[in-house]
Chains A and B, each alone.
Chain A
Amino acid sequence: MSVGLVICSHSAKLAEGVAELAGQMAKAVTIVPAGGTGDGRIGTSVELVSAAVEKLLDEGLDVAVLTDLGSATMTVESVIEALGPDRAAHVRHAEGPLVEGAVAASVAAQIGGDLTAVALAAQAKELFA
């Protein structure tokens, strides 16, 4: 199954920028930014991330969610828990350094990688080799 990406950052601008950058090498991959709170503050929003994840699932995609700082992790875990086990099986919190990870993950998705391959790419392990 094809994989789409959700970029969850505390900053809406950062999420948009990362999505723009990652999309450059992955034209066929759907990358949805979900940054900031719903009302324009710095923070993460369960509602924004949830809407982005649901949108991709409804398009029949598996979903890798990439995050920036610690509490974004909690937001994504809350979203995945609320999906229920059937839909949650198609969603993965892909941890890694956000910028490099998003580029690597989107390329992995572009060349047909499955959710596991995309999540692995998001770790951007070659950075630390």
Chain B
Amino acid sequence: MAGELTAAWAVAWMRDAAGVLARQREELIELDRAIGDGDHGENMDRGFQAVVAGLDASAASPKEVLSSAGRTLISTVGGAAGPLYGTALMRAGQAAKERIDADNLVAVLSAALEGVQARGKAQVGDKTMVDAWSPAVEAARQANEGGATPLDVLRAAASAAEQGAEATVGMVARKGRASYLGERSVGHQDPGATSTAHILQSAAKAAAA
């Protein structure tokens, strides 16, 4: 079927994400400094540089690429984002077929969200990356039901993730160290939701290439 995603897509996704996270490093540091410990930009940049360094361009399946990237993030990041994104990518990899069609893509994104929630125990509305992942999965599901290609499923997911990240501005943090700020966390966009939006945009960009 046209537009199926392969290992080459997964490799391109990780490379693009590393580039974007390097460029957005200062933005993420500033967002995290406002309501967290300020290390998210550095941690994500460091983690994805390590992912790129460990990429196997000859990997046969998306599963290999994503699982290996997940393990790298868990072992290199050192903040909450490591176990969260690491578990997300490892679960995504487990759900991925050799060639990912739109149906399988929805399963892959759902598995990533489930991984994030299993690890972080956050719900929608807690002002975390779940507030980007969850609308992304819902938008992907709807796009797929409408017969979209994998590329368009990813575009829908990325766009919903970005809107979800923006919506965290109005939320009160209920997870992580930002929750100690209570109402004072309102008015700031969540750094984890923001990095999720960047990463899903990279997934769409890699599929368009």
Residues of the B chain whose Cβ atoms lie less than 8 Å from the Cβ of A43: 39, 43, 77-79
Q: Are B176 and A70 in contact (CB under 8 A)?
A: yes
B82 and A46 within 8 A (CB): yes
Is B78 in contact with A74, judged by CB distance below 8 angstroms? no
A20 within 8 A of partner (CB): no
Q: Is the interface of B mostly helix, strand, loop or mixed?
A: helix
Does chain A have a CB within 8 A of B175?
Answer: yes
* Chain B residues near A77 (CB-CB < 8 A): 83, 119
B74: contacting residue among A69, A70, A78, CB under 8 A: A78
Task: Check B177 against A70 for contact (C-beta < 8 Å).
Answer: yes
Query: Is B41 part of the contact surface with A, judged by Cβ < 8 Å?
Result: no
> Is A111 close to B, CB under 8 A?
no
Whether a CB of chain B sits under 8 angstroms from the CB of A44 is yes
- Which residues in A have their C-beta under 8 angstroms from that of B80? 70-71, 74
Q: Verify if A30 is at the interface (C-beta below 8 Å from B).
A: no
Give chain B interface residues in 73-96, CB to chain A under 8 Å: 74-75, 77-80, 82-84, 86-87
Q: Mark B102-133, 1 if CB is under 8 A from A, else 0.
A: 00000000000000000110000000000000
**What residue in chain A is nearest B79 (Cβ atoms)?**
A43
A88 to chain B, nearest CB (A): 16
Cβ-based interface call for B37 (8 A): yes
Contacts of B86 in A (CB 8 A): 78
| Nearest-neighbor residue (CB-CB) of B179 within chain A | A70
Residues of B within 8 A of A69 (CB): 177
**Scoring B residues 151 to 192 as 1 if CB is less than 8 Å from chain A, else 0, what string do you get?**
000000000000000000000000111000000000000000
CB distance from B82 to the nearest CB of A (A): 7
Given contacts A41-B78, A44-B78, A47-B75, contact A74 B176 (CB under 8 A): no
| Cα–Cα, bound, A119→B39 (Å) | 31
**Besides A44-B79, A47-B75, 17 new A-B residue pairs in contact (Cβ under 8 A), listed by A number:** A41-B78, A42-B39, A43-B79, A46-B74, A46-B82, A46-B83, A70-B175, A70-B176, A71-B79, A71-B83, A71-B176, A74-B80, A74-B83, A75-B82, A75-B83, A77-B119, A78-B74
